[in-house]
Amino acid sequence: MRPNLPVACMHCDDAPCVKAAKDGAVYKRDDGIVLIDPQKAKGRHEIIRSCPYEVIWWNEEKDVPQKCTLCAHLLDEGWDRPRCVQACPIGALRIIHGDDPEIKQMVISENLESLHPQYRTLPRVYYKNLFRFTRCFAAGSMAYKKDGTIDCAEGAEVVLYQNAEKVAQISTDHFGDFQFDNLDEDSGQYMIEVAYKGAKKNIKVELGKSINIGTIVLE
């Protein structure tokens, strides 16, 4: 996992923190927000340990566990979004107020993913393009040499093989760049076949972590 993946409370539907607190020191509201009751949770370190996402921290001064509240206090005042959603200059965050079928449909149509679904906590935070953090890529660039001039090879055909089987096929972009995403870490040897204007080349690649094989020049 890359270290800069943003992770806050997932406001899980089956939240281990709620179960661990037992007496309502952590609770889920009807709108889905999971909150910590600072009075009931005072001095209770076990609440921190209950979260598999490790997003509860300890407030030494107040002697309570704390976490993202989804800015419930602001939403209750009529705000339509939390502060981080409002503040993000590139619109990387969204809050969606919807019922379960709507959210389910959105997850499917936008190809959204949960982080660590194996925890089985039914998280309510979804990521787009999560594979860019959790999986590997094999990338490179293609150029074409003719009459002593080297140009980007836009629209070149690039095929990825493993064990002689085609895994994926893409075309290079305007800059001659290509990238195969969603590959398994340490998944072994691949062959990248590049073709442009009748010229071809095969490049062997050993995939441990993500790799950029640099520029391939055809002529």
Q: Read off the amino acid at residue 182.
A: N
The nearer residue to ligand SF4, 90 or 164, going by C-beta atoms, is 90
Q: What is the largest CA-CA distance in the chain?
A: 78
CB of 176 to ligand SF4, least distance (A): 40
> x/- string (CB under 6 A) for ligand SF4, residues 148-177?
------------------------------
CB of 43 to ligand SF4, least distance (A): 18
Site for ligand SF4 in 9-68 (CB under 6 A): 9-12, 15-17, 34, 51, 53, 55-56, 67-68
CB of 77 to ligand SF4, least distance (A): 13
CB of 92 to ligand SF4, least distance (A): 12
The nearer residue to ligand SF4, 28 or 161, going by C-beta atoms, is 28
Residue 121 lies near ligand SF4 (rule: CB under 6 A): yes
Strands 165-171 and 57-59: unpaired
**How many beta carbons lie within 10 A of that of residue 104, not counting itself?**
11
Are the C-beta atoms of 130 and 163 separated by less than 8 Å?
no
Residue 142 lies near ligand SF4 (rule: CB under 6 A): no
Residue 71 lies near ligand SF4 (rule: CB under 6 A): yes
The nearer residue to ligand SF4, 44 or 67, going by C-beta atoms, is 67
> Could you give the CA distance from residue 40 to residue 23 in angstroms, rounded to a whole number?
8
**Could you tell me which residues come within 8 angstroms of residue 148 by beta carbon, excluding any fewer than 6 positions away?**
none
Distances (CA, A) of 194 to 43, 140, 171, 210, 215: 61, 10, 9, 19, 11
> Could you give the CA distance from residue 142 to residue 217 in angstroms, rounded to a whole number?
6
> Could you give the CA distance from residue 207 to residue 26 in angstroms, rounded to a whole number?
44
CB of 85 to ligand SF4, least distance (A): 7
Number of residues that bind ligand SF4 (CB under 6 A): 22
**Could you tell me which residues come within 8 angstroms of residue 177 by beta carbon, excluding any fewer than 6 positions away?**
139, 140, 141, 142
CB of 9 to ligand SF4, least distance (A): 3
Q: Which residues bind ligand SF4 (CB under 6 A)?
A: 8-12, 15-17, 34, 51, 53, 55-56, 67-71, 82-84, 121
